[in-house]
A and B are shown apart, each in its own frame.
Chain A
Amino acid sequence: MSTQHNDWCSEFLTRVIAAGIPVTHIEKSTFDIWQINAYDWQQFAEFAHHEGLRWSAGWAEQRDAQYLVNACFEKQGSYIVLRATLDEAAAELPSQATVYPAANRSERHTHDLFGVKFTDHPDPRRWVRHQAWPEHSYPLRKDFPAAGYPEAVTPPDMNYPFIKADGAGVYEIPVGPVHAGIIEPGHFRFQAVGELILNLEERLGYVHKGIEKIAEGRTPESLARLAGRVSGDTTVGHAWAACQAMEQAAEISIPPRAALLRGILAERERIANHLGDMGAICNDVAFIFAQVHFTRLRELWLRSNAKIFKSRLLMDCIIPGGVSCDILEADCIVVREDIKRLRKELDQLIPALDLNTTLEDRLYTAGFLSEPIAAAFGALGYVGRASGQTFDIRRDAPYSPYDKVAFKVAAENQGDIASRFWVRYKEIIAAMKLLEQFMQQLEPGELTTPWQIPTAGAEGLGIIEGWRGEIISFVRFDSGNTIARFYPRDPSIINWPALEKLVLNNIVPDFPVCNKSLNGSYSGNDL
Chain B
Amino acid sequence: MFRILKKTLTTGMLTERFKFPKDAELEQLGIEIKQQIDRRFSGSLAIRQVDAGSCNGCELEIHALNNPYYDIERFGIHFVASPRHADILLVTGPVSRHMQTALLRTYDATPNPKWVIAVGDCAVCGGEFGESYASCGKVANVIPVDVTIPGCPPSPLVLMSGILGLMKG
A residues whose Cβ falls under 8 Å from a Cβ of B? 130-133, 139, 144-150, 153-157, 177-178, 180-185, 205-211, 213-214, 225-226, 229-233, 235, 276, 289, 292-293, 295-296, 298-299, 302, 306, 312-313, 315, 348-349, 351-352, 355-356, 521-523, 526
Contact flag A355-B3 (CB < 8 Å), given A139-B134, A299-B64:
yes
The interface residues of chain B lying within 8 Å CB-to-CB of A147 are: 131-133
Whether B59 contacts A183 by the Cβ 8 Å rule is yes
Contact flag A185-B102 (CB < 8 Å), given A209-B94, A235-B57, A313-B60:
yes
CB contact between A132 and one of B60, B131, B134 (< 8 Å): that residue: B134
The interface residues of chain B lying within 8 Å CB-to-CB of A235 are: 57
Contact flag A349-B7 (CB < 8 Å), given A150-B97, A178-B106, A226-B128:
yes
B121 nearest CB across to chain A (Å): 10
> Considering the chains assembled together, what is the distance between the CA atoms of A149 and B69 in angstroms?
46
Whether A132 contacts B97 by the Cβ 8 Å rule is yes
> Considering the chains assembled together, what is the distance between the CA atoms of A120 and B73 in angstroms?
54
Whether B81 contacts A181 by the Cβ 8 Å rule is yes
The interface residues of chain B lying within 8 Å CB-to-CB of A178 are: 50, 83, 102, 106
Whether B7 contacts A154 by the Cβ 8 Å rule is no
Contact flag A312-B101 (CB < 8 Å), given A132-B134, A147-B131, A182-B49:
no
B residues whose Cβ falls under 8 Å from a Cβ of A? 3-4, 7-8, 11, 14, 49-64, 66-69, 79, 81-83, 93-94, 96-102, 104, 106, 127-136, 152-153, 155
Question: Assuming A132-B98, A139-B134, A349-B7, what are 15 further A-B pairs, CB within 8 angstroms?
Answer: A144-B133, A148-B134, A154-B136, A180-B82, A182-B49, A185-B102, A209-B134, A210-B135, A229-B152, A233-B57, A296-B11, A299-B67, A313-B153, A315-B153, A352-B3
Whether A232 contacts B54 by the Cβ 8 Å rule is yes
What's the count of A-B pairs with C-beta under 8 Å? 173
Whether B54 contacts A184 by the Cβ 8 Å rule is yes
CB contact between B134 and one of A157, A184, A213, A296 (< 8 Å): that residue: A213
The interface residues of chain A lying within 8 Å CB-to-CB of B54 are: 184, 207, 232, 523
The interface residues of chain B lying within 8 Å CB-to-CB of A180 are: 81-82
> Considering the chains assembled together, what is the distance between the CA atoms of A213 and B97 in angstroms?
15
The interface residues of chain A lying within 8 Å CB-to-CB of B81 are: 180-181
A519 nearest CB across to chain B (Å): 10
The 9 nearest A-B residue pairs measured at CB: A148-B133, A232-B57, A210-B134, A180-B81, A132-B97, A352-B3, A295-B67, A232-B55, A154-B97
A-B contact pairs, 21 of them (CB 8 A): A130-B98, A146-B132, A146-B133, A148-B134, A150-B97, A180-B81, A181-B81, A184-B56, A206-B96, A208-B96, A209-B53, A229-B152, A231-B55, A232-B59, A293-B11, A296-B68, A296-B69, A299-B68, A352-B4, A523-B53, A523-B54
